[in-house]
């Protein structure tokens, strides 16, 4: 059977992140992707102009329609937008045990808020406990745990906070870090696995988080292990940055092909 993925996330009018990046990534990996749109954003490569949430009942109905017919081998959550939507999604997911990759989308690359405090509370109290993997970047980790994972010591402390929140598998993404080499750290099974790559001097990195989480979800849908899925996704994102088409005046999209 063709691997099936359901992505619950927002739409990016620039095509570089959100649902649009998710669809491109799934297509690249040969995974069939369904979508539940949580919000329509107005944005370009210079930043987010507005965020327009979809009614929570409609979001829930999209998820139920996808799971009730085609079904899914893995679910990926990206931008949720607000607490009502987050709670509606959590309600639906309580009725199944489909593996879940939770990308904790809280802020845009330009600093715009993409999830309110009520939504963050649902993440911490309900969705993290349900997730197979949580994938925060440095600012998101600091928002969720009070710790910026910029050193091995802080990553270990942040992992313990996530454990208290109910999750044992976290990918600490290091793209917002400093230095010539950037490191992602996967915490799983009580162990820490590092994935390093040289910093690429480019402004075309829009949608890296969405792309990476979806690439990981594709690996899980295809029956790969978590560590192998993360490793392949890490390499894919590095290649997508390298082959970015150079579009836009700001933070441009990746080369998903």
Active site residues: 173, 205, 207-210
The backbone torsions φ and ψ at residue 180, rounded to the nearest 5 degrees and listed phi first, read -80, -20
């Amino acid at each position: 059977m063709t691997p099936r993925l359901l992505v619950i996330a927002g739409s990016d009018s620039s095509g570089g992140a959100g649902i649009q990046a998710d669809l491109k990534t799934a297509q690249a990996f040969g995974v069939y992707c369904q979508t539940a749109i949580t919000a329509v954003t107005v944005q370009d490569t210079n930043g987010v102009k507005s965020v327009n949430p979809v009614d929570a009942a409609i979001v829930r109905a999209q998820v139920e329609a996808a799971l009730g017919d085609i079904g899914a081998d893995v679910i990926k959550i990206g931008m949720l937008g607000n607490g009502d939507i987050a709670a509606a999604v959590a309600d639906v997911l309580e009725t199944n045990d489909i593996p879940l990759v939770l990308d904790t989308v809280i802020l845009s690359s330009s600093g715009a808020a993409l999830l309110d405090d009520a939504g963050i509370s649902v993440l911490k109290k309900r969705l993290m406990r349900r997730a197979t993997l949580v994938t925060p970047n440095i600012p998101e980790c600091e928002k969720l745990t009070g710790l910026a994972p910029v050193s091995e010591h802080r990553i270990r402390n942040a992992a313990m906070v996530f454990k208290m929140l109910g999750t044992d598998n976290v990918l600490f993404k290091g793209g917002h870090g400093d230095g010539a080499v950037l490191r992602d750290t996967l915490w799983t099974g009580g162990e820490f696995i590092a994935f390093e790559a040289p910093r690429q001097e480019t402004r075309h990195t829009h949608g890296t988080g969405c792309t990476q989480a979806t690439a990981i979800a594709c690996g899980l849908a295809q029956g790969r292990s978590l560590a192998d899925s993360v490793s392949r996704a890490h390499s894919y994102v590095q290649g997508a940055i390298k082959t970015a088409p150079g579009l836009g005046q700001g933070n441009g999209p990746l080369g998903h092909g």
